[in-house]
Amino acid sequence: MKKLIYALSIIFSIAFASSCNDLDVVPIGQLSDGNFPVSDEDAIAVTNAVYTTNIRISTALGYLFDLTTELEAGDEGNPNGGSGLISSIRWDPTNSYWASNWNRLYDIVTRANDVVDKIGSSNVVTPDLKKRLVGEAKFLRAYAYFYLVQAWGEVPLALHATDIAVPRTDINVVYKQIIQDLEDAAVALPAAAQYAAEDKGRATQGAAYAYLSKVYLVWGQTDVTADAATRKQRFTESVKNANLVTGYALEEDFLANWSRTNRNGKESIFSVQHIQGQYAAGDGGNHLVHCAIAEGLTNAKKSHVYAPSEKYYNDFDDRDQRKNGTYIKHVDDDGTGNSFTFTSFLRFRKYAGEVLTQAQILAAAQTRDINRTVIRYAEVLLLKAEAINERDGAPNAEAYEAINQVRRRAFKQFPVTSPAIEPGVELPGGLDYAGFKAKIQQERVFELTYEQNRWTDLVRWRILQKTLKGAVENGDIPASWGKQNVQPFNYRFPIPKAERDINPEGLWQNYGYDGYDPAKTGTDPYAGFE
């Protein structure tokens, strides 16, 4: 991993000097002469620049995809600030968080395009290295577009440095490009085990297959234009690609997925690398832990983001190691196991590492150097189980086995490929489509809370309003957090005003944020969702 981190630090100032404010941005490659790149080292450095924006976006993606759900609330002290407005579902196109995430994702796209165009056409770069670097860039471009299309729907599809002021593109066209990039990446990239130690953290063949499984599932569930046969074909592809994700295994200790000493461990398929001293501020750049525990464990003040209710903590079985792996309810004060602090306000524990004491937790909030999990093997197993249920209209033995492996690890029933010895660990047989889907939905909460999946899950399942409003109506969370403000148009984020000011013709606004233009959106695009 040192090679990747070292190269990133060398180009850090150049990379951020050229970060994009809109699609009309000077790509990194254009900063050099027409013969660039002139060496393999140049090609590696420019490809590494595609990864740099990922370092900056970890916290921001948490605000978009966690803070917008019933599982998280934030900025109680500043409810009318940018994150407070996002948390309480009072969304306005002028909120800076929309623009910052849009810009950073398109920064990844712009840099990836530069690699594909310049390195892909180079006669200087060693052929095998060129193949791999272009594969990395295509994976990262697909990664960025997958976030973009889920969050905003039709988005500009720019694939070359010359693509300027691109209009919004049909969703299915965007998805087809994502699939093509991931398929190209799967052919070009090595397996994780084939990378040298200094290159761990790069995109891999396994990451491409894992993303193909997820993209096909989401596309099949959300494409309102697809017929039954097309949806089934996409679910089939999702299962097929999940089965191609090999060479990974579940960590026995759930919290080993967020450990400084276990970076890119056996369960990690793709993670954002957060290394101490790499970020501009001198820390690791992952503020997800800082936002969750910046205020320490005091019972007098909440953190920037927090669980709005103990209901979700109490939903876990007490035997499930994910209960205290996801939330901080009590902490060993001194590591002796004799003195404990119990907190009134639940904090999220992921990204704090395998901590024991208050001092270690507070240190983690300052160093911010735990890798951000993007996709790991447990999620691939859940994707596979869900895709089988969608494809067949019912679960089969393979689907049960996939979800039960995740549950066996959670309950420390090893090996995870053998039947559990304790009752209540495995799902009971005989579930129909709806019953199994409900179990998958619950299992994703248990497994993936605070991993930037929840809002996109609620959207693809078409239960966003039902879930947020229901959480308030059922008394699961207080009305003061504002989650009941959710409306049908919150199935998409607003196009940032700053971007529309640059490209008003190409970037029409999403339905509901300033009325709607029937010529662009037709009738309510969310009618019948719930």
* Tens of each residue's pLDDT in the chain, 530 residues: 434 433 433 333 333 323 222 333 333 334 344 567 889 999 999 999 999 888 888 888 999 999 999 999 987 667 788 899 999 999 999 999 999 999 999 999 999 999 999 999 999 999 999 999 999 999 999 999 999 999 999 999 999 988 888 999 999 999 999 999 999 999 999 999 999 999 999 999 999 999 999 999 999 999 999 999 999 999 999 999 999 999 999 999 999 999 989 999 999 999 999 888 776 667 888 889 888 887 777 777 777 888 888 999 999 999 999 999 999 887 776 666 666 677 777 889 998 877 667 788 888 888 888 999 999 999 999 999 999 999 999 999 999 999 999 999 999 999 999 999 999 999 989 999 999 999 999 999 999 999 999 999 999 999 999 999 999 999 999 999 999 999 999 999 999 999 999 998 899 999 999 876 666 666 778 888 89
- State how far the Cα of 241 lies from the Cα of 138, in Å rounded to an integer: 17
Whether 8 and 154 map to the same domain: the answer is: yes
Residue 10's φ and ψ, nearest 5 degrees, are -60, -45
CA diameter of the chain: 67
Helices (H), 153-264: 171-188, 205-222, 228-243
User: Is there a domain that residue 239 lies in?
Assistant: no
What distance lies between CA 152 and its chain's CA centroid?
15
What per-residue confidence (pLDDT) applies to 251? 98
What per-residue confidence (pLDDT) applies to 309? 87
Residue 412's φ and ψ, nearest 5 degrees, are 55, 45
Whether 164 and 303 map to the same domain: the answer is: no
- State how far the Cα of 117 lies from the Cα of 108, in Å rounded to an integer: 14
Interior angle at CA 527, CA 521 and CA 530, nearest 5: 140
What distance lies between CA 402 and its chain's CA centroid?
21
What per-residue confidence (pLDDT) applies to 338? 66
Number of domain units in the chain? 2
Whether 151 and 293 map to the same domain: the answer is: no
Number of other residues whose CB lies within 10 A of the CB of residue 298: 12
Whether 362 and 480 map to the same domain: the answer is: no
**Number of residues that this document lists for the chain:** 530
By the 8 A CB rule, do 120 and 134 touch? yes
At CB < 8 A and 24+ separation, what contacts does 508-515 make? 508/168, 509/93, 510/152, 510/153, 512/487, 512/488, 513/91, 513/92, 513/93, 513/489, 514/93
- State how far the Cα of 479 lies from the Cα of 473, in Å rounded to an integer: 8
- State how far the Cα of 493 lies from the Cα of 479, in Å rounded to an integer: 22
Whether 185 and 299 map to the same domain: the answer is: no
Structure-block tokens of residue 14: 């150049």
Task: Select from 57, 65, 73 the least CA-distant residue to 151.
Answer: 65
Out of 347, 367, 387, pick the residue that ends a domain. 367
Number of other residues whose CB lies within 10 A of the CB of residue 439: 20
Structure-block tokens of residue 423: 């009752």
| Domain that residue 176 falls in | 1-189+462-530
Q: 104-115 burial string, b = 16+ CB within 10 Å, else e? A: bbbbbbbbbbbb
Whether 161 and 52 map to the same domain: the answer is: yes
CATH number for 40:
1.25.40.390
Interior angle at CA 21, CA 16 and CA 24, nearest 5: 110
User: Is there a domain that residue 27 lies in?
Assistant: yes
What per-residue confidence (pLDDT) applies to 212? 99
What per-residue confidence (pLDDT) applies to 13? 30
User: Is there a domain that residue 240 lies in?
Assistant: no
Out of 351, 367, 383, pick the residue that ends a domain. 367
Whether 18 and 162 map to the same domain: the answer is: yes
Task: Select from 205, 201, 152, 159 the least CA-distant residue to 178.
Answer: 159
Whether 468 and 319 map to the same domain: the answer is: no
Whether 185 and 332 map to the same domain: the answer is: no
Torsional sign, CA 7, 11, 12, 18? negative
DSSP-assigned states of every residue in 294-346: TTTT-SS---SEE-S-SHHHHTS-TT-THHHHHEEEEEESSSSSS-EEEEEEE
Whether 25 and 168 map to the same domain: the answer is: yes
Whether 159 and 302 map to the same domain: the answer is: no
Out of 367, 390, 413, pick the residue that ends a domain. 367
Whether 22 and 163 map to the same domain: the answer is: yes
User: Is there a domain that residue 480 lies in?
Assistant: yes
User: Is there a domain that residue 410 lies in?
Assistant: no
Structure-block tokens of residue 57: 């976006």
Task: Select from 18, 128, 398 the least CA-distant residue to 238.
Answer: 398
User: Is there a domain that residue 154 lies in?
Assistant: yes
Q: Helices 205-222 and 377-392 sit at what angle, rounded to 10 degrees?
A: 40
What per-residue confidence (pLDDT) applies to 24? 32
User: Is there a domain that residue 467 lies in?
Assistant: yes
- State how far the Cα of 68 lies from the Cα of 203, in Å rounded to an integer: 28
User: Is there a domain that residue 28 lies in?
Assistant: yes
